[in-house]
Amino acid sequence: MRNTRRTTSVLAVALVAVVAVSGCSKKSETTAATGTGGTSGAKQLKIAFVPKLQGIPYFEAMNAGGQKAAKDLNVQWIYKGSTTADPGAQTDIVKSLIQQKVDVLVVAPNDPDSMAPVLADAKAKGIKVMTSDTDAPNSVREVFVNQATADGIGKALTDALLEKMGGKGKYAIVSCGQTAANLNAWIAVQKKYTAEKYPNAQIVDTVYAGEDEAKAVSMAKDLMNAHPDLTGLVGECTSSAPGVAKAVREAGKIGKVFTVGLGTPQAMKPYLTDGSSSSSILWNVENLGYLTVWAGAQLANGKTIDAKPAVGGGIDGATYTAAQKMLLLGEPLRITKANVDQFNY
Amino acid sequence: MTALVEPAALRSRRRPVARAVEGQELALVAVIAALWVALSFGTNTFLTAGNLSNIVFAVAPVALIGIGMTAIIVTGGIDVSVGSAAAVVMVVVAKLIRDSGVPMVEAIAVALVLGVLLGTVNGLLVALGGIHPIIVTFGTLNLFRFVALRLFENKQVTGVPSTLQWFGGGETGLSIGVPNAWWLAMAVAAVMWVYMRHWPTGRHWYAVGGDPAAARLAGIRVHRRLVAAYALTGLLVGLAACVLIGSGGLVQQNAGTGLELQVIAAVVIGGTSILGGRGTVLGTLLGALLVGTVTSAITLLGWRSELTELFIGVFILVAVGVDLLRERRRRSA
């Protein structure tokens, strides 16, 4: 008797929990839907973008650029992502968009391999398929909108740091996810380029802090302790870039240890101002969103993309490589304390 | 009846020396000491003030929440929502000190009150609902995270001022060369150690975890003790959030993600029985310190980062294994 009552109450509360949880995921979807732009014309193109996760400033900036392009080009822009960078949750969202019969589906895949079959399914249903920000190289995608090449970023990071270090000395890299393909590609370029161009400089270690800023801070401090003659640190992603700068600031080593990284402008601003970060290498994220919508519209209208396309929306220097089906935004941007206020994300 | 309520007290009369420490604290002290000696000889960078203060600062939030979690696990419960609760407190406090310029004392007060509130929600659901705590707090893990994400409003909190730098990892967060955050963890642990060993209401937690029905028959107000354990954990989550904000800068949407697992790891490695009824906050402090030492040592030695996970996994399994063996021996004795 007692037991059954207990089981019932367990079930009841489990049910309440499930409802509550699904309730909140539904709610975040509605918030996402408010991000749709444009008016509901009869033949208006529907371009949907699924970011790695929703709510971080990086993808919100991309969303802002996408909304702007949707208005300029008179298409409907759907921006919908999961609140965690989870490949499974992302796949579910992509499948629901396929059900909604969008015209163009753009994904920044968390896991390119598991996304590939889903994209193939979308293409079979007549949807134009693209990737943006992160590629799924072995998929059926028809265009990849690339923010910058691995080569460009790796070299820009290395040059920005070595400029401060006087072209020599020891530095270390605090990366994030150990399996993140783009970060690993950049690190490979940094290693090769440092060895070639700066023979007196040396990368002493590469560590992985996950997407956790506090862990990046403590690992950067460990690295400074382990190598007392360290003069440089690279924060490879948007959580470790402010992380390494904070570590230098807290250790009182501003001016002795220099840092660069891939950080979003507003997060880096306090560190750029006090010198704990020398510069942040990034690209214009809003423009990346704009370019994504533009490419989607080209694709859906059956137009080919020129080698040096005229995009509009203030984008200059985009290039298209037909062999790789890759549309490149341009050279990476160096953000310093001089120009950080131009960016509101 | 008394025997049920205060078994440890009875046992301590039989074997006073062995009962001075209850779990595997001695073994942990030995392991940590051995590690520190080995690392001091193996590297010339481990035994430096900068490194040691980095280790204890990094584990301070885990240790603080772990003290409350020890009380909860002793009652036979668990709280997996602490990471999300910390995120709620962090976003609220970070926004208050950045946007409204709230000074330090008020910011701490808000953090503690909010922490207690969130903890009490868990406590009431566990005590009155009669559902297993892992289900209740798994629910609130998601609910609290939802609340935190709404408060973030799709933006991370950047440019947080250094109002709470007393708790932080910089020069301003040190007293006598030791991070204030760690002093706090030790002070709270000392108070809780005395409370849980010598205060009747402290001992009641063990009784509740040992056998709730018997505890109730013995006149212990089980519900009240349960709510107290969860509310205390909430309070310490608030304190840990102050440490995590620290010298300011950035609070990300993923703040506190996975913190619950680090906390539970420290508690379990510290010798607290996951089945309830046994465990000490001293062990938890040592467990956190062991994890922090290993994490830092792997970077110092230039080993691969993922070895941290390997070592923590082995520690947890060894700790649980030793606990099971001890339990079996106790039953056969």
- Tokens encoding A277: 């970060």
Q: Which helix (H) or strand (E) holds A244?
A: helix A240-250
Partner-chain contact A13 B244, CB within 8 Å: no
The domain total for chain B is 1
Q: Please name the fold of domain A150-281.
A: Rossmann fold (3.40.50)
Q: Is the pLDDT of residue B11 over 60?
A: no
Asked if A85 and A52 count as a contact pair (C-beta separation under 8 A), the reply is: yes
By the CB < 8 Å criterion, does B308 face chain A?
Answer: no
**What is the model's pLDDT at position A12?**
58
Look up the domain containing B144 and give its range: 61-257+273-279
Could you say which of B154, B258, B302 has the minimum Cβ distance to residue A205?
Answer: B302
Nearest to A295 by CA among A285, A282, A309, A283: A309
The Cα-based distances of B160 to A33, A244, A265 in angstroms read 30, 16, 15
End-to-end CA distance of chain B: 21
Q: Note whether A270 contacts B159, CB cutoff 8 Å.
A: yes
Among the residue ranges A23-32, B58-67, B114-123, the one predicted with the least confidence is: A23-32
Question: Six-digit token pair at B2?
Answer: 């008394």
Q: What is the mean pLDDT of residues B90-100?
A: 94
Q: CA of A25: which chain B residue's CA is closest?
A: B146
Distance CA B276, CA B68 (A): 14
- B143 Cβ under 8 Å from any chain A Cβ: yes
CB A29 within 8 A of CB A93: no
Q: How do A104-107 and A143-146 pair as beta strands?
A: unpaired
Residue A35 predicted with pLDDT over 90: no
Taking the C-alpha atoms of residue A110 and residue A180, their distance in angstroms, rounded to an integer, is 9
Model confidence at B1: pLDDT above 50? no
Phi and psi of B8, rounded to 5°? -65, -35
Q: Residues of A with CB below 8 A from B300's CB?
A: 222, 225-226
Q: Which amino acid is at A133?
A: D
Mutation for B interface: A13, A174, A203, most B CBs within 10 A: A13
A250 CB within 8 Å of a chain B CB: yes
| The pair of three-digit structure tokens given for residue B242, joined into one six-digit string | 């102050």
Contacts of B269 (CB under 8 A, 6+ apart): B28, B287, B290, B291, B312, B315, B316, B319
How would residue A179 be classed by pLDDT, with cut points 50, 70 and 90?
confident
The reply to whether domains A29-147+285-330 and A150-281 share a CATH topology is yes
Q: Which of A83, A214, A222 sits opposite B300 (nearest CB)?
A: A222
Query: pLDDT tens digits, residue range B169-184?
Result: 888 888 898 999 999 9
Is residue B247 within 8 Å of residue B165, measured between CB atoms? yes
Q: Does A225 touch chain B (CB under 8 A)?
A: yes
Query: Measured in whole angstroms, how far is the alpha carbon of residue A187 from the centre of its chain?
Result: 16
What whole-number distance in Å separates Cα of residue A269 and Cα of residue A144?
31
Whether B225 is covered by a domain: the verdict is yes
Compare CB distances from B135 to A14, A207, A218 and report the shortest one's residue. A14
Q: How far apart are the first and last CA of chain A?
A: 59
List chain A residues with CB under 8 Å of B249: 242, 246, 270-271
For the stretch B256-294, pLDDT in tens is 998 999 999 999 999 999 888 889 999 999 999 999 999
Nearest to A9 among B130, B250, B254 (CB): B130
Q: Examine the pLDDT at A37 and tell me if it is beyond 60.
A: no
Task: Using CA coordinates, name the residue in chain A closest to B153.
Answer: A55
Output A215 or B47, whichever has higher pLDDT: A215
Amino acid letter, B217: L
B21 and chain A: CB distance < 8 Å anywhere? Answer: no
Q: Under DSSP, is residue A67 helix (H, G, I), strand (E, B) or coil?
A: helix
- Judge contact between B65 and B236, C-beta under 8 A: yes
Q: Give pLDDT, residue A49.
A: 96
Structural domain includes residue B284 = no
Residue B47: how many CB atoms within 10 A of its CB?
13
pLDDT at B228: 96
Tell me, yes or no, whether B32 lies in a domain: no
CA separation, residue B124 to residues A166, B145, B236, B239, B246 (Å) = 61, 19, 18, 21, 31
Q: Has residue B196 been placed in a domain?
A: yes
Instruction: Tell me if B31 is assigned to some domain.
Output: no
- Output the DSSP codes for B61-116: HHHHHHHHHHHHHHTT---TTHHHHHHHHHHHHHHHHHHS---HHHHHHHHHHHHH
Q: Does domain A29-147+285-330 have CATH number 3.40.50.2300?
A: yes
Percentage of the residues of chain B whose pLDDT score is greater than 90: 59
Give the β-pairing of A326-328 and A319-321.
antiparallel
Which residues of chain B from 155 to 184 reach within 8 Å of chain A, CB to CB?
155-156, 158-159, 168-171
Distance CA(A174)–CA(A236), nearest Å, equals 6
CA distance to partner chain B, nearest, from residue A206 (Å): 9
Contacts of B235 (CB under 8 A, 6+ apart): B68, B112, B115, B116, B119
Looking at CA atoms only, how far is residue A42 from chain B in angstroms? Answer: 31
Give the pLDDT confidence score for residue B14 in this predicted structure: 46
Whether the complex's predicted ipTM is more than 0.90 is answered with: no
Residues whose CB is less than 8 angstroms from the CB of residue A332 and which lie 6 or more positions away in sequence, other chains included: A148, A152, A153, A156, A281, A282, A283
Query: Are the beta carbons of A222 and B51 separated by less than 8 Å?
Result: yes
Domain boundaries, chain A: 29-147+285-330, 150-281
CA closest to B179 among chain A residues: A250
Neighbours of A72 (CB within 10 A): 15
pLDDT of residue A7: 56
Q: When comparing pLDDT for A324 and A230, which is higher?
A: A230
Residue B177 lies in a domain: yes
Closest CA in chain B for residue A3: B130
Q: What is the pLDDT of residues A242-301, one digit of tens each?
A: 999 999 999 999 999 999 999 989 999 999 999 999 999 999 899 999 999 999 999 999
B142 and chain A: CB distance < 8 Å anywhere?
A: yes
Considering B4-8, B20-24, B189-193, B308-312, the range whose residues carry the highest mean pLDDT is: B189-193
